[in-house]
Amino acid sequence: RNLWVVPELAEDNRCQTKQCTQPCIPEPFLRSSQDVETKETLQEMKSRFLLFEEADKGCQIRPYHPNTLQECGFNASRPLVMIIHGWSVDGVLEAWIWQLVAALKSGLSQPVNVGLVDWVTLAHQHYVIAVRNTRLVGKEVAALLQWLEESVQFSRSNVHLIGYSLGAHVSGFAGSYIGGTHKIGRITGLDAAGPLFEGAPPSDRLSPDDASFVDAIHTFTQEHMGLSVGIKRPVAHYDFYPNGGSSQPGCHFLELYKHFAKHGLNAITQTIKCAHERSVHLFIDSLLHGSLQSTAYLCSDMGSFSQGLCLSCQKGRCNTLGYHVRQKPQSKSRSLYLVTRAQSPFKVYHYQFKIQFINQMEKPVEPTFTMWLLGAKEEMQKIPITLGGGITSNKTYSFLITLDVDIGELIMIKFKQENSAIWANVWNTVQTIIPWGTEPHYSGLLLKTIKVKAGETQQRMTFCSENTQDLLLHPAQEKIFVRCEVSSKK
């Protein structure tokens, strides 16, 4: 029986429906302007709530049946982490759910209650119908949390909802429907669904208002036929956009042939799912690799981030991706960017390189370069460098370099201009026309210093040419740069 609360009669504690003979539900279930249900109906929820004492075995909790809490091993002194899945294509709970449960059970120093909101019967519908059902499931989750408060004095501030795709919006609705002056402790949105939510107001989707702290990971916002699988707009206090958020390494359609071999006719679905589900695996990765936490940095867009312009951690401009995020709610959503590897562990190390060529060529030139890095922990790595748009006079070029391993403090850089037929001819011609015994005047590239900033350590370094008498970058020859002190005035 659905009973509608009429605000004008709320004080009278009565309902007004076409056939209403029941009194209104007392607080905390009274929701002005929201549809509510009787406790009798709530006992027959369409969602199932499972609690995991073991990673692979769930026990069903039934609201208003306190004995099920004891049977399932619910510990009111521990936080509650509830996983909420998304739209279901085949009506089966996906494998990542059990992986996340296992990670939560084994990857934390302080144990937590791990639960699952199983709403497959409502999610295994046409997408539009499943979207409509997200509100109902959100109400059911809110009712469960209210019951826990009443029955075992379990505070909602100790609740962390982790919602994937449509489940992210279910989490948001749960947070908004629970009401009262206190909010759910935390909501994490894992690539929150985009279709029918992208342009929606905050009240109709996940938003920062739904919990004391909301974080979101966006991994597949690339548009297909005008729609994106994941929502692109910020929906949290901290919104993380790995690799720009539009697509993910290892999930491009170039991988389709590999998926055909493994998944057959489901290859296209698996290819799309790869980037969408990457948000989940990034979160799992943060639980399994405590010493390899990925850092993300506040930035306006991926273009600026790719230039290395956004590696600052000052005034909270960076944060940790995943479970161990620093929970500092902001009045305005913060969009953070980072690069990741194609597989776990996903962490990379970010560096900004700034170089300035003294170029005396009449026209812009477009050579390619290779760089070797020597760190205190690891050997040098060969890295190709291409500066788009050509090199012009007295311009500083900033670009981002990422390394898959921690090489330690950077000690030395080898910089090489790759040989090409054009540059070789230019160099040979210059050497031919310059008279011997005169001061060479090569109209080529000269590089004096390289400035580096390490994102993860925030260390700034300057490297100078080892041979200060010869700053020319000769084609196909390496030039060594070592740490040096440069005056700030210079």
Range with top average pLDDT, 15-29, 239-253, 310-324, 464-478: 310-324
- Higher-pLDDT residue of 36 and 366 is 366
210 is in an annotated binding site: yes
First vs last C-alpha separation in the chain: 77
pLDDT of residue 264: 54
Residue 157 a catalytic site member = no
Residue 427 and residue 301 share a domain: no
Q: Of the listed 88, 118, 160, 165, which one is catalytic?
A: 165
Interior CA angle at 405 toward 399 and 408, to 5°? Answer: 85
Sheet arrangement for strand 211-217? 57-61, 48-54, 113-118, 80-84, 159-164, 184-190, 211-217, 238-242, 334-338, 295-298, 318-320
DSSP structure class, residue 23? B
Q: Of the listed 85, 169, 259, 276, which one is catalytic?
A: 276
Number of domains in the chain: 3
pLDDT of residue 423: 46
Residue 379 and residue 267 share a domain: no
CATH number (domain holding residue 419): 2.60.60.20
Indicate whether 62 belongs to any domain.
yes
What b/e string do you get for 284-299 counting C-beta neighbours within 10 Å, with b at 16 or more?
A: bbbbbbeeebbbbbbb
Compute the distance between CA of residue 89 and CA of residue 134 in angstroms, rounded to an integer: 16
pLDDT > 90? residue 443: no
pLDDT of residue 330: 86
Residue 151 a catalytic site member = no
Indicate whether 34 belongs to any domain.
yes
- Domain residues for the domain of 224 are 43-338
Q: What does the block give as tokens for 249?
A: 């390494």
Residue 132 and residue 95 share a domain: yes
Confidence of residue 38 (pLDDT cuts 50, 70, 90): very low
pLDDT > 90? residue 457: yes
Indicate whether 292 belongs to any domain.
yes
| Weakest-pLDDT range from 47-56, 223-232, 295-304 | 223-232
Question: In the predicted model, what is the mean pLDDT of residues 249-276?
Answer: 66
pLDDT of residue 276: 94
pLDDT of residue 71: 94
Indicate whether 344 belongs to any domain.
no
Residue 206 and residue 125 share a domain: yes
Confidence of residue 419 (pLDDT cuts 50, 70, 90): low
Confidence of residue 224 (pLDDT cuts 50, 70, 90): low
| Weakest-pLDDT range from 281-290, 334-343, 464-473 | 464-473
pTM of the model: 0.84
Q: Which of 100, 109, 169 is nearest to 134 (CA)?
A: 169
Residue 69 and residue 193 share a domain: yes
Residue 420 and residue 307 share a domain: no
Confidence of residue 358 (pLDDT cuts 50, 70, 90): confident
Compute the distance between CA of residue 107 and CA of residue 284 in angstroms, rounded to an integer: 9
| Weakest-pLDDT range from 15-24, 131-140, 348-357 | 15-24
Q: What does the block give as tokens for 95?
A: 């494998």
Three-class DSSP category at 446: strand
Compute the distance between CA of residue 94 and CA of residue 269 in angstroms, rounded to an integer: 13
Place of tokens 């046409």: 126
Confidence of residue 392 (pLDDT cuts 50, 70, 90): confident
Question: In the predicted model, what is the mean pLDDT of residues 329-342?
Answer: 94
Compute the distance between CA of residue 219 and CA of residue 119 in angstroms, rounded to an integer: 23
pLDDT of residue 432: 45
pLDDT of residue 29: 32
Residue 165 and residue 22 share a domain: no
Cα distances (Å, whole numbers) of residue 476 to 137, 173, 370, 426, 473: 64, 61, 10, 13, 9
pLDDT of residue 127: 95
Indicate whether 446 belongs to any domain.
yes
Place of tokens 């391993």: 405
Residue 165 a catalytic site member = yes
pLDDT > 80? residue 105: yes
pLDDT > 50? residue 349: yes
Q: Which of 132, 212, 203 is nearest to 166 (CA)?
A: 132
Cα distances (Å, whole numbers) of residue 345 to 215, 236, 252: 21, 25, 19
Indicate whether 280 belongs to any domain.
yes
Confidence of residue 472 (pLDDT cuts 50, 70, 90): confident
Q: What does the block give as tokens for 177?
A: 């429907």
- Indicate the residue among 338, 365, 392 that finishes a domain: 338
Q: Of the listed 85, 160, 191, 335, which one is catalytic?
A: 191
pLDDT > 70? residue 413: yes
pLDDT of residue 401: 96
Three-class DSSP category at 206: coil
Compute the distance between CA of residue 480 and CA of residue 369 in angstroms, rounded to an integer: 13
Residue 194 and residue 76 share a domain: yes
- Indicate the residue among 319, 338, 357 that finishes a domain: 338
- Indicate the residue among 338, 366, 389 that finishes a domain: 338
pLDDT of residue 43: 54
Residue 309 and residue 182 share a domain: yes
Confidence of residue 239 (pLDDT cuts 50, 70, 90): very high
Side-chain-side CA neighbours of residue 121 (13 Å)? 6
Residue 393 and residue 311 share a domain: no
Residues whose CB is less than 8 angstroms from the CB of residue 342 and which lie 6 or more positions away in sequence, other chains included: 248, 249, 250
Confidence of residue 40 (pLDDT cuts 50, 70, 90): very low
Mean residue pLDDT of the chain comes to 83
Compute the distance between CA of residue 451 and CA of residue 446 in angstroms, rounded to an integer: 15
Task: Say if residues 309 and 352 touch (Cβ distance below 8 Å).
Answer: yes
pLDDT of residue 270: 67
pLDDT of residue 23: 35
Peptide linkage before 435 cis (omega within 30 of 0): no
Compute the distance between CA of residue 337 and CA of residue 111 in angstroms, rounded to an integer: 30
Residue 20 and residue 146 share a domain: no
Three-class DSSP category at 484: coil
Alpha helix segments (H runs only) across 72-182: 95-106, 120-123, 127-152, 166-177
Q: Name the region of 363 (left: φ>0; alpha: ψ -120 to 50; beta: rest).
A: beta
Indicate whether 490 belongs to any domain.
no
pLDDT > 70? residue 277: yes
pLDDT digits (tens, 9 = 90+) for 141-179: 999 999 999 999 999 999 999 999 999 999 999 999 998
Cα distances (Å, whole numbers) of residue 195 to 120, 188, 198, 224, 365: 19, 19, 6, 11, 45
326 is in an annotated binding site: no
pLDDT digits (tens, 9 = 90+) for 177-218: 998 889 999 999 999 999 999 999 999 999 999 999 999 999
Residue 353 and residue 262 share a domain: no
| % of the chain exceeding 70 in pLDDT | 78
pLDDT digits (tens, 9 = 90+) for 15-37: 333 333 333 333 333 333 334 44
Indicate whether 343 belongs to any domain.
no
CATH number (domain holding residue 291): 3.40.50.1820
pLDDT > 50? residue 83: yes
Beta bridge partners of 117: 49, 84
Question: In the predicted model, what is the mean pLDDT of residues 307-329?
Answer: 95
